[in-house]
Amino acid sequence: DQQVKQNSPSLSVQEGRISILNCDYTNSMFDYFLWYKKYPAEGPTFLISISSIKDKNEDGRFTVFLNKSAKHLSLHIVPSQPGDSAVYFCAASASPGAQKLVFGQGTRLTINP
Amino acid sequence: EPEVTQTPSHQVTQMGQEVILRCVPISNHLYFYWYRQILGQKVEFLVSFYNNEISEKSEIFDDQFSVERPDGSNFTLKIRSTKLEDSAMYFCASSEASGKNYEQYFGPGTRLTVT
């Protein structure tokens, strides 16, 4: 099941610079997308979401961009901080109901001082 | 801030034994979910639960699995006869409602080890 793909297993970014995490999806029925952050030994923590009627959503240092024609979304973190080091998961759901979240494999982000 | 809690944090059981994983969702949430993550693999949806019944389940959620809300606060996942391949992190989640703009909030997980 490869409906949601995060092709970069890891990403290393210098503190203060921009981190860009990417996610692709194949199911055109997906209409709601979320990013979660996960630290070791903890559950996924919700970060930010975007509905398919929008192409951008911003919350503080986090911005999610959605390109529906390319079936691609990205998470921008700026400026990156050491506490941002974690595994980031992209997830998607499809109406109606939109209950089941389909997750990508995750990208491990490391912020270097 | 309200959070989803799960117990135990780690459960070791022998193959063929029954296990019950427990979760306390966020108190005003109405939808409850179980997901699992086998080591090195994706987080996978198992089941969603609303109004005291299953609303959606995956092909993983076969007859060996069941869910229950035995009282007003707990939400449980039972595996009747565990197999080695059931070893995974099991995450409980809850949401205020279903659909867009209703995020699912996850608990810290229970690590299940089947020997």
The dihedrals phi and psi of A84, each to the nearest 5 degrees, come to -80, -10
For residues A91-103, give the mean pLDDT. Answer: 82
Cα A87-A91-A97 angle, rounded to 5 deg: 150
CATH number, domain of B37, equals 2.60.40.10
Domain boundaries, chain A: 4-112
Q: Is A13 on the interface with B (CB under 8 A)?
A: no
- Would you state the pLDDT for residue A1? 57
- Do A89 and B105 lie within an 8 Å CB cutoff? no
Instruction: Please give the single-letter amino acid code of residue B78.
Output: K
- Do A49 and B103 lie within an 8 Å CB cutoff? yes
- Would you state the pLDDT for residue A98? 59
B91 interaction partners in chain A (CB closer than 8 Å): 43-44
Q: Is B55 on the interface with A (CB under 8 A)?
A: yes
Q: Are A102 and A75 in contact (CB under 8 A)?
A: no
Closest residue in chain A to residue B50, using alpha carbons only = A99
- Would you state the pLDDT for residue A41? 83
Q: Are A77 and A37 in contact (CB under 8 A)?
A: no
Q: Is A29 on the interface with B (CB under 8 A)?
A: no
Q: Which fold has domain A4-112?
A: Immunoglobulin-like (2.60.40)
Q: Are A26 and A90 in contact (CB under 8 A)?
A: no
Task: Please give the DSSP secondary-structure letter assigned to residue B99.
Answer: S
Helix (H, G, I), strand (E, B) or coil at B16: coil
Q: Is A88 on the interface with B (CB under 8 A)?
A: no
Q: Are B18 and B81 in contact (CB under 8 A)?
A: yes
**Min CA distance, A61 vs chain B (Å)?**
19
**Mean predicted lDDT score pLDDT of chain A:** 94
Q: Which residues contact B82 (CB under 8 A, 6 or more apart)?
A: B13, B14, B15, B16, B17, B18, B19, B112, B114
Task: Please give the tally of structural domains in chain B.
Answer: 1
B41 interaction partners in chain A (CB closer than 8 Å): 105
- Do B100 and A51 lie within an 8 Å CB cutoff? yes
CA distance A24 to B12: 36
- Would you state the pLDDT for residue A103? 96
* Short-list B91, B13, B9, CA closest to B46: B91
pLDDT digits (tens, 9 = 90+) for A21-74: 999 999 999 989 999 999 988 899 999 999 999 999 999 999 999 999 999 999
For residues B63-92, give the mean pLDDT. Answer: 95
A105 interaction partners in chain B (CB closer than 8 Å): 41-42
Query: Which of A30-39, A97-106, B102-111 shows the lowest per-residue confidence on average (mean pLDDT)?
Result: A97-106
Which residue reads 């029925």 in tokens?
A: A29
Q: Are A4 and A90 in contact (CB under 8 A)?
A: yes
CA distance B43 to B80: 22
Question: Across the A/B interface, how many CB contacts are shorter than 8 Å?
Answer: 67
Structural domain that includes position B19: 5-114
Q: Is A41 on the interface with B (CB under 8 A)?
A: yes
- Do A42 and B45 lie within an 8 Å CB cutoff? no
- Edge to edge, the sheet with strand B5-7 lists B5-7, B19-24, B75-79, B65-68
Per residue, the 3-state secondary structure of A35-82, as one string, reads EEEECCCCCCEEEEEEECCCCEEEECCEEEEEECCCCEEEEEECCCCH
